[in-house]
Amino acid sequence: MGEAVRTVGYVGIGLMGRPMALRLLGAGVPLTVWGRNPDRIADVVAAGAALAESAAALARASDVVITCVSDTAAVEAVVFGPGGIAEGAGPGKVLVDMSTIHPRRSREMAERLRAETGMGWIDAPVSGGPPGAAAGTLAVMAGGSAADHAFVQPVIRHLAGAFTLMGPSGAGQTTKMVNQVIVGGCKSVIAEAIQLAMNSGIDATRLPEAFAGGRADSSLLRQSVPKMVSGDFTPTGHLRTIMKDLDMVMELARETRTPMPMTGLATEIHRMMVAHGHADTDTTSVIALLRDKPVL
Amino acid sequence: MGEAVRTVGYVGIGLMGRPMALRLLGAGVPLTVWGRNPDRIADVVAAGAALAESAAALARASDVVITCVSDTAAVEAVVFGPGGIAEGAGPGKVLVDMSTIHPRRSREMAERLRAETGMGWIDAPVSGGPPGAAAGTLAVMAGGSAADHAFVQPVIRHLAGAFTLMGPSGAGQTTKMVNQVIVGGCKSVIAEAIQLAMNSGIDATRLPEAFAGGRADSSLLRQSVPKMVSGDFTPTGHLRTIMKDLDMVMELARETRTPMPMTGLATEIHRMMVAHGHADTDTTSVIALLRDKPVL
C-alpha cells in the first residue's frame, strides 16, 4: 500500500523541536518552519526547510501543522493570535499539538479551531526527551478522532516509537499529565536513592548494573545517574518545564478529587529549586537539595 | 573450564525462597533444606531436596548455605541460635544471606561468623519478586570478599540475572536499601499516576503501551498496573516487608544525614496501610488510600 505524502509545517524549534524537525527533513518530508526569531531556526532552514513569513502562511502551505511550544498561552498565541495558524487553516488539514498543556484547555482550543476553520486537532504531547526526539523513539500520547490520528500517522511515525490514541480530544494531554506524575515524582525519589548511596559509600554509578532486571531498574534511573552523580546539570530538559507540568497535574488532581501526597511533595520540591533560581537547570538538579554542601 | 559442584543448603522457603529452591533442584544442584515446620517445605523435599534435622546439620552437609528469612532477628536466630548454622559452620564454607536486613547488623554478623567459625558471608539481598525468582533473573546485590563472591557464583548464577559485588561486607544490603527507596517510593508515585488516570477517564491498562520507550516506562509500572487497576491485591510481595525495609532506609538516612522527604512520606503512607490492617496485602494496595470509596 502506498503512503500519502503530507506537507508539514513545524512551529516551535526548541530543545525538543529542533531534533524532531531535523528528523522529518532527514526522512524527506517536505517541511516548512516559522519562528518569531528567524535566527534561531536558521540551521533548520539550512538543512532544507522552507521558511514561512508567518504561522498563517505556514498553515496555508501544510497538510499537517505541528506545534511544540512552552505552555497554554504560547499555543493560544500561535494558533489564534494575529497571523496565527487559524488564519491559514481549513478543512482537510490537521494540527498536531505536541506541547504539554492542560487537557481542558486543549479540548477547548481544538473545538474552537474545528468550529471556526474546519481544521482538525490532535493533542500529542511526548515523552523521551531530546535523545528520544533525535532517535525518533518518542512516546507520543494522542487525543482526538481516529480519522485525524490516521491522517497524521505517516508524519508522526518518523518521530515516535509509539503514537497511541488514548481517547477523544484532551486524552493525550491527560495521559501526559499522568506521565509527568511518574517522571517528576520518580525522579525526586531516584535523587534520594542516589544521594543515600553516595552518602553510604556505594559507587552510585554502578546502581543500574546492580539493579538490572530487578524492580528498581528503569530508563529514568539510567538517564539520571550520570548527571546526578557528577552534578553536571546542563539541561536536556528544563526544571521550569516539569514545574509547570506538575502545577497542571495538581490542578487536574483537584478537579478529579484525587489525593496525590507524593506528587504534591514532588511539586513543592521542584518549586523550591525554582525559587532558589534554578529554573533553567536540568530536571536532575533536584538532588542538589539533598546534599550537605552547596552544589549550585 | 569445568565448574565446581557445590552442595547447597537453603533455609527460608517462603514467597521468594520456594521458587529459588525449586530452580536449584531443577538445575541439578545437590540441595538440603531445613525449616521449623517441615510440613511447609514438604513440596521442596518431594521435588528432590534432602531434609536436614537442624540448621546446624544443614550447614555441615553444605558448601554454600543460603538464608532468605524475614528480618534481622530471624537471620540472627537461624545462624547463631541453638542448633543454628554456626554450629555446623567451618572454613571453606560460605553463607549467602539473601534476606534484607540493616547493613551494619549484616556486617557485624558476618564478622562474628568468620571470627568464631571461619565461615565466609556474602550479603546478597535480591530484587525482582517471585516472578524473577521463578525465572532465575533476580538482581542480586552482593557485599563481601571477592573470593567468597567467586566461590558462590556457580550456585547463585542459577538464580540471578545479575550478581553484582558492590563492595565489602554490608554493601549488598546498602544497595538493597537504595533499591527499596526506588521500589517503595516509585510504587507510591505510580499509584497516584494510575488513580489520576482512572479518575480522569483514561484507560489506565493502556498506560504502559502509551509510555513505551518514554521516560515514564518501567518494569515497576508494567507490574503495578494490572493489580492497581483491578484492585486484586493477592500478595506476590507483602506490604509488611517493604514497610520494614523503608523503616531501615530511614534509619540509614539518619545515620548518613541524608534528607529524604519523598521516602519519608512513602514510609508513612505504607505505615498507614499497615495501621489499617493491610500488612499482608500486596505492596500495590497503597493505591487504596487514594480512592474515594473503601476498597479494602
Q: Averaged over A119-128, what is the pLDDT?
A: 96
Q: Averaged over A267-289, what is the pLDDT?
A: 95
Q: Averaged over A37-41, what is the pLDDT?
A: 91
Q: Which residues of B are part of the catalytic machinery?
A: 176
pLDDT, position A5? 76
pLDDT, position B67? 98
Q: Measured between alpha carbons, how far is B5 from B17 in angstroms, rounded to an integer?
A: 21
The reply to whether residue B193 touches residue A171, judged by beta carbons under 8 angstroms, is: no
Q: Which residues contact B257 (CB under 8 A, 6 or more apart)?
A: A199, A292
Neighbours of B131 (CB within 10 A): 13
Residue B208: which H helix or E strand, with range? helix B207-211
Q: What is the pLDDT of residues A207-266, one digit of tens each?
A: 999 999 889 999 999 999 999 999 999 998 899 999 999 999 999 999 999 999 999 999
Q: Measured between alpha carbons, how far is B169 from B77 in angstroms, rounded to an integer?
A: 20
In sequence order, what E strands does chain B have? 8-11, 31-34, 50-51, 64-67, 94-97, 120-123, 126-127, 138-143, 160-167
Please state the φ and ψ torsions of residue B218, each to the nearest 5 degrees: -165, 160
% of chain A residues with pLDDT over 70: 98
pLDDT, position A1? 39
Coil vs helix vs strand at B86 = helix
Q: Give the best residue of B166, B199, B223, B262 to mutate against chain A (max A CB count within 10 A).
A: B262
Measure A108 CA to nearest chain B CA, in Å: 16
pLDDT, position B296? 53
Residues of chain B with pLDDT under 70: 1-3, 294-296
Split at pLDDT 50, 70, 90, the class of A141 is: very high
pLDDT, position B3? 59
Q: Measured between alpha carbons, how far is A293 from B286 in angstroms, rounded to an integer?
A: 35
pLDDT, position A236? 86
Asked if A190 contacts A219 with a C-beta cutoff of 8 angstroms, the reply is no
Query: CA of B291: which chain A residue's CA is closest?
Result: A258
Nearest to A215 among B129, B249, B261 (CB): B129
pLDDT, position B292? 81
Split at pLDDT 50, 70, 90, the class of A90 is: very high
Nearest to A257 among B171, B203, B292 (CB): B292
Measure B10 CA to nearest chain A CA, in Å: 22
pLDDT, position B105? 96
The reply to whether residue A216 touches residue B174, judged by beta carbons under 8 angstroms, is: no
The question of whether A93 is a catalytic residue gets the answer no
DSSP string, B229-258: HHT----SSBHHHHHHHHHHHHHHHHHTT-
The reply to whether residue A290 touches residue B179, judged by beta carbons under 8 angstroms, is: no
Q: Is this complex scored with an ipTM above 0.85?
A: yes
The secondary structure of residue A130, as a DSSP letter, is: H
Measure B178 CA to nearest chain A CA, in Å: 5
pLDDT, position B1? 39
Q: What is the pLDDT of residues A165-191, one digit of tens each?
A: 999 999 999 999 999 999 999 999 999
pLDDT, position A229? 97
- Nearest Cα neighbor of A181 from B227, B220, B195 is B195
DSSP string, A229-264: HHT----SSBHHHHHHHHHHHHHHHHHTT---HHHH
pLDDT, position A237? 87
Q: Give the best residue of A188, A194, A200, A222 to mutate against chain B (max B CB count within 10 A).
A: A200
